[in-house]
Amino acid sequence: MIRPAQVWRSEPEAAVTEQQEASEDAVMTRIGQAVILLHAGDREEARNRLGEIWQEIGEEGDSLHRCTLAHYMADAQDDPADELAWDLRALTAADAPRDGPGTGCGDGRPVQREPRPAMRVFYPSLHLSLAADYLKLQRPDAARVHLARARAASGALADDGYGNGVRAGIARLERRLAGEAGPGPGPRPFPEQS
């Protein structure tokens, strides 16, 4: 059976495209499997699996994969400084242009590209995670900066379980930073955790 995509592509091109799409889904599946281990308490095995995937996709891999993986790799860290480093990688991946690095305008200036619009929903959670990291490292001023960014970005959140969870996390951390007695920042929300 001929699919519409094959009408304008040769069979080899269509097969490569289908293989790439399947492998991208496989990456997210593997990340999800590692996250299940993480949530089950096997942090070391989750770290090992996420580390293997990170080596495969590399610093230039798909930004959604890198963002998701780095966010969860941060959760798997025992050292708060390592957690911060991975959360910073997640934010860098979210900020990555959708078409990869700019090659230039021909006049030596880099091409300015916007991050993927779909990534907007991740920013409140990413900045909340960074705020919590900085607070753990006893850097409250940096925590406040990222908490303010999380609050400012929270308009992209839907009124659903995930959005409400992120907003609640922001409020808890705001109370904690304000010196009110509270339970702490709580779990780090991300779409898969809703």
Q: What is the pTM of this model?
A: 0.73
Q: Measure the CA–CA gap between 129 and 45, rounded to whole angstroms.
A: 22
**Counting beta carbons within 10 angstroms of the beta carbon of residue 179, is it exposed (0 to 12), middle (13 to 18) or buried (19 or more)?**
exposed
What's the rounded Cα separation, in Å, for the pair 123 and 129? 10
φ, ψ for residue 112, nearest 5 deg: -90, 120
- Report d(CA 100, CA 93) in Å as an integer: 10
Q: What is the pLDDT of residues 20-71, one digit of tens each?
A: 555 557 999 999 999 999 999 999 999 999 999 999 998 888 999 999 999 9
pLDDT at 194 over 80: no
The type of residue at 137 is: L
Closest CA to 187 of 74, 103, 96, 97: 74
